[in-house]
């Protein structure tokens, strides 16, 4: 059975940093574009970032460009999101997802990020 498990969320002060991790099992991520999607409390889904199978292409939603960095380690079957200069509006559940058929096919259970003083 395929699984994605996120970790690394928590409470951080505005301006702080967090590094989210996403570990895959039951499949190998090297065959997939991977991405992060977030959901603020009581709000809808928002695409955050994507990374190509080999890491050669990355893209971000405008609101996180220059602050967040997506990366992957195919050997460790893992995806990462380095988040710097965090703001209150970054508070959300962050989901990692594998893309296939040009859609977010496999989702993790999410990790909670709270940015507050």
Partner 1 sequence: QSALTQPASVSGSLGQSITISCTGTSSDVGSYNFVSWYQQHPGKAPKFMIYEVTKRPSGVSNRFSGSKSGNTASLTISGLQAEDEADYYCCSSAGGTTRWIFGGGTKLTVL
Which one among 1, 41, 44, 75 touches partner 1, defined by CB under 8 A? 44
Alpha-carbon span 46 to 66, nearest angstrom: 17
How far is the CA of 10 from the CAs of 39, 40, 103, 112, 115, in angstroms?
A: 15, 14, 28, 6, 8
Residues in the interface with partner 1 (CB under 8 A) total: 24
Alpha-carbon span 98 to 112, nearest angstrom: 19
Contact call for residue 83 and partner 1 (CB under 8 A): no
How far is the CA of 96 from the CAs of 72, 82, 90, in angstroms?
A: 12, 13, 15
Contact call for residue 41 and partner 1 (CB under 8 A): no
When the beta carbons of 3 and 15 are compared against partner 1, the nearer one is 3
Contact call for residue 109 and partner 1 (CB under 8 A): yes
Which residues, 89 to 108, sit near partner 1 by CB under 8 A? 95, 101-108
Contact call for residue 59 and partner 1 (CB under 8 A): yes
Q: How many residues does the chain have?
A: 117
When the beta carbons of 16 and 47 are compared against partner 1, the nearer one is 47
Question: Where does this chain bind partner 1 (CB under 8 A)?
Answer: 33, 35, 37, 44-47, 50, 52, 57-59, 62, 95, 101-110
């Amino acid at each position: 059975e395929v699984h994605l498990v996120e970790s690394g969320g928590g409470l951080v002060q505005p301006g702080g940093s967090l590094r989210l991790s996403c570990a895959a099992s039951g499949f190998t991520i090297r065959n997939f574009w991977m991405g992060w999607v977030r959901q603020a409390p009581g709000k809808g889904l928002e695409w955050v970032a994507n990374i190509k199978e080999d890491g050669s292409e990355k893209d971000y939603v405008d609101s996180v460009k220059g602050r967040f960095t997506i990366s992957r380690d195919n050997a460790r079957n893992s995806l990462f999101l380095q988040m710097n200069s965090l703001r209150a509006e970054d508070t959300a559940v962050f989901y990692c997802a594998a893309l296939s058929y040009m859609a977010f096919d496999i989702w993790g259970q999410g990790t909670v990020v709270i940015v507050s003083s």
